[in-house]
């Protein structure tokens, strides 16, 4: 399976489980990172089994073409192939270029089923043909101009070793040509975030160094009645093509708020906008973090259930006796004709895989680009480094099926641990996070030494450097899976039949938290009440 097949599978499954409005992306510029890296993230959320893919660089003949197929694999057309395509590891190519996405529904009437280009086609082709973020934007927008845009609204996070860009795009409706889009460069020293709702508001019309857009992005909105130029209000992309509603604020803007509040606590950012309080202003497109962010900090930001806020998903009767933050789908439900919704966090059991890309301009591309890759729920997963200069992947990350459990599949191993933890979440998650911190800390601590060796090899034998980075990435990936499999086995033996083994290996009954027991008694105060003890039966005689 090549990269385009993998991306098609992602699109098929997300469509099948009810839409692809299910991802979160953070963008970190060089001036906002602790070491000068450009970083972007991605949680690819959906109920499917991902396969990590590697596509080698390739030369093509003048007559070669690239096939475009739909969700069912039906051929929709062919486009002319370029003479040379670059190698790709997951969502990062050999030049450190990385592209991620989140989908927004926006105006559904603008979906164009007659277009050829789905977002995953555009991402794959740009990764194979572009060296920089600006080049990727040119490739992607040229593709939709030539062949039409088929997806719904999309926010693309695009980064190279120097710049991070956010591009938002939506179609022109059935039979229309091209797409309506705008791309803005995140200012150096700032971070941005997007989560299934268009975020770009007002944008500069005469600043091509920092903002580019389709020629008709405003005129089309005027023609459709999405924007009135006589209103006295500036044109805002998000208002025209993805109007805010109480539901999409709760679903999408809450995640933006949570990342921003944690990266910049000094802002004291109000939750009012994502709670649809009248008059509340939208969150800024980008902010300056209180402290520059390390790779580890970014891992942490992508692990969030609104802990410590009024919306903390580990609290309340809905979290169960052991504080699980997971809420089973559907996310909305109705009782007595009133619609309700669970919170939508950044960390969710629906995540298939996530990435944190690290792009560094002062290093050769093969060493400077690292795709930190995690499987399943970000909160209970573990990120492992895959350098963009490698030419092979660990087998366990490339095999498996949602239809059959297998300890040989890395995804199933992580999925098992995450699911088992729901039995006694508040206890088990501490064991999981301890191993997570140990392993990720080790990978980060080794990074300078690994890269020094790689740089030394690059000067004398580039092929040996490739082999070295490949061996390191593959071995770390397989080691991680072995350790996580062992962790799963340890959890089964430690947490068994409701008991928890103590340090001496003896099972102890910890019971339920008092706060939860009190909630149970509120609903059934008499059922569990014991009769008054007879005088000749002491409490110690009452045994299970």
Residues 245 and 98 in one domain: yes
Contacts of 510 (CB under 8 A, 6+ apart): 427, 499, 500
Structural domain ending residue among the three candidates 289, 304, 319: 304
Domain shared by 138 and 275, yes or no: yes
- A 10 A CB-CB count for 431 gives 16
Query: Looking at the chain, how many residues does it have?
Result: 544
Report in angstroms the alpha-carbon separations of 295 from 109, 149, 200, 383, 447.
40, 34, 26, 10, 11
For residues 294 and 374, membership in a common domain is answered with no
Query: How far, in Å, CA of 53 to CA of 7, rounded?
Result: 10
Beta bridge partner(s), residue 117: 149
**69 shares a domain with 181:** yes
Distance CA 165, CA 385 (A): 23
Identify whether residues 297 and 368 lie together within a single domain: no
pTM of the model: 0.94
Residues 461 and 386 in one domain: yes
Same domain, 296 and 417: no
Residue at 527 is within a domain? no
Q: How far apart are CA 59 and CA 83, in angstroms?
A: 6
| In contact, 339 and 323? CB cutoff 8 Å | no
Same domain, 296 and 437: no
Q: How many CB atoms lie within 10 A of CB 444?
A: 16
pLDDT of residue 69: 86
Q: Is residue 421 part of a domain?
A: yes
- Is 339 among the domain residues? no
What are the DSSP E strand ranges found in 297-411?
Answer: 332-335, 338-341, 351-359, 370-375, 384-387
Residues 288, 148 share a domain: yes
- Give the whole-angstrom CA distance, residue 431 versus residue 384: 19
| CA–CA distance, 527 with 320 (Å, rounded to integer) | 19
Tell whether the torsion through CA atoms of 89, 36, 301 and 159 is positive or negative.
negative
- Give domain status of residue 355, yes or no: no
Does residue 375 share a domain with residue 277?
A: no
Which H or E run includes 514? helix 514-523
Q: Which helix (H) or strand (E) holds 155?
A: strand 153-159
Query: Which pLDDT score, from 0 to 100, does residue 70 have?
Result: 77
Is residue 283 domain-shared with residue 375, that is, in the same domain?
A: no
544: in domain = no
Dist CA 359 CA 362 (whole Å)? 9
**409-to-54, 351, 412 alpha-carbon distances in Å:** 17, 16, 5
Phi, then psi, of 352 in degrees rounded to 5: -85, -45
**CA torsion 113→194→20→97, rounded to 10°?**
80
| DSSP conformation class of 541 | G
Q: How many domains does the chain have?
A: 2
User: Which of helix, strand or coil describes residue 97?
Assistant: coil
Q: Considering 256, 284, 304, which residue would you say is the last residue of a domain?
A: 304
DSSP per position, 198-236? ----S--SS-TTTEEE-TTHHHHHHHHTS--GGGSPPP-
Q: Is residue 510 part of a domain?
A: no
CA distance 517 to 369: 51
Query: What's the longest Cα–Cα distance across the chain?
Result: 97
pLDDT per position in the chain (544 positions), as tens? 344 444 444 444 443 333 446 899 999 999 999 999 999 999 999 999 999 999 999 999 999 999 998 777 889 899 999 999 999 999 999 999 999 999 998 999 999 999 999 999 999 999 999 999 999 999 999 999 999 999 999 999 999 999 999 999 999 999 999 999 999 999 999 999 999 999 999 999 999 999 999 999 999 999 999 999 999 999 999 999 999 999 999 999 999 999 999 999 999 999 999 999 999 999 999 999 999 999 999 999 999 999 999 999 999 999 999 999 999 999 999 999 999 999 999 999 999 999 999 999 999 999 999 999 999 999 999 999 999 999 999 999 999 999 999 999 999 999 999 999 999 999 999 999 999 999 999 999 999 999 999 999 999 999 999 999 999 999 999 999 999 999 999 999 999 999 999 999 999 999 999 999 999 999 999 999 998 766 554 544 444 5
What does the DSSP assignment read for 3-66?
Answer: HHHHHHHHHHHHHHTT-S--EEEEEE-GGGBTTS-EEEEEEEESSS-----EE--EE--TT-EE
345 falls within a domain? no
CB 46 within 8 A of CB 352: yes
Same domain membership, residue 289 and residue 390: no
* Residue 86 lies in domain: 3-304
- Among 304, 331, 352, where does a domain finish? 304
Query: Per-residue pLDDT tens for 391-437?
Result: 999 999 999 999 999 999 999 999 999 999 999 999 999 999 999 99
pLDDT of residue 85: 98
Q: Is residue 175 part of a domain?
A: yes
Q: What is the CA 114 to chain-centroid distance, rounded? A: 29
Q: What share of the chain is helix, strand, coil (3-state, %, to 5)?
A: 35, 20, 45
Q: What is the pLDDT of residues 271-287, one digit of tens each?
A: 999 999 999 999 999 99
Please give the pLDDT value at position 536: 52
Round to whole Å and give the CA distance between 177 and 78: 17
């Amino acid at each position: 399976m090549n990269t385009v097949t993998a991306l098609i599978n992602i699109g098929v499954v997300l469509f099948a489980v009810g839409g692809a409005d299910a991802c979160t992306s953070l963008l970190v510029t060089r001036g906002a990172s602790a070491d000068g890296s450009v970083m972007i993230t991605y949680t690819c959320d959906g109920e499917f089994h991902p396969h990590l893919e590697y596509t080698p660089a390739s030369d093509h003949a003048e007559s070669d073409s690239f096939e475009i197929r739909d969700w069912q694999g039906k051929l929709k057309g062919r486009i002319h192939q370029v003479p040379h395509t670059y190698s790709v590891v997951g969502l990062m190519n050999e030049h450190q270029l990385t592209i991620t996405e989140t989908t927004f529904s926006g105006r559904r009437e603008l979906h164009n089923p007659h277009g050829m280009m789905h977002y995953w086609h555009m991402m794959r082709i740009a990764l194979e043909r572009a060296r920089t973020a600006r080049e990727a934007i040119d490739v992607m927008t040229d593709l939709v101009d030539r062949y039409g845009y088929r997806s719904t609204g999309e926010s693309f996070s695009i980064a190279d070793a120097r710049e991070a860009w956010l591009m938002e795009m939506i179609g022109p409706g059935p039979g229309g040509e091209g797409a309506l889009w705008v791309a803005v460069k995140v200012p150096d020293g700032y971070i941005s975030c997007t989560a299934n709702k268009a975020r770009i508001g007002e944008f500069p019309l005469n600043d091509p160094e920092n903002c580019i857009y389709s020629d008709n992005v405003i005129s089309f909105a005027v023609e459709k009645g999405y924007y009135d130029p006589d209103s006295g209000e500036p044109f805002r992309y998000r208002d025209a093509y993805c109007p805010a509603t109480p539901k999409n604020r709760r679903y999408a803007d809450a995640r933006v708020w949570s990342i921003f509040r944690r990266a910049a606590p000094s802002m004291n950012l109000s939750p009012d906008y994502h709670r649809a309080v009248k008059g509340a202003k939208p969150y800024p497109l980008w902010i300056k973090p209180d402290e520059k962010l390390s790779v580890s900090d970014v891992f942490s930001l992508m692990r969030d259930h609104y802990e410590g806020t009024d919306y903390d998903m580990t609290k309340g009767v809905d979290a169960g006796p052991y504080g699980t933050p997971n809420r089973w789908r559907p996310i909305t439900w109705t009782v007595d004709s009133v619609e309700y919704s669970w919170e939508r966090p950044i960390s969710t059991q629906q995540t298939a895989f996530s990435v944190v890309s690290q792009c560094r301009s002062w290093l050769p591309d093969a060493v400077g680009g690292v795709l930190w890759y995690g499987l399943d729920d970000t909160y209970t997963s573990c990120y492992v480094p895959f350098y963009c200069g490698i030419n092979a992947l660990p087998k366990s990350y490339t095999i498996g099926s949602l239809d059959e459990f297998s300890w040989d599949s890395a995804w199933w191993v992580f999925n098992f641990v995450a699911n088992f933890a729901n039995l006694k979440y508040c206890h088990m998650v501490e064991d999981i996070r301890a191993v997570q911190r140990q392993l990720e800390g080790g990978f980060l601590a080794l990074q300078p030494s690994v890269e020094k060796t790689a740089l030394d090899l690059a000067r004398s034998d580039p092929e040996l450097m490739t082999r070295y980075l490949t061996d390191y990435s593959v071995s770390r990936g397989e080691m991680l899976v072995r350790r996580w499999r062992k962790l799963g086995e340890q959890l089964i033996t430690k947490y068994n039949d409701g008991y928890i083994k103590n340090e001496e290996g003896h099972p102890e009954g910890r019971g339920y938290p008092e706060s939860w027991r009190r909630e149970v008694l509120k609903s059934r105060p008499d059922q569990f009440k014991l009769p008054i003890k007879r005088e000749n039966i002491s409490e110690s005689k009452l045994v299970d």
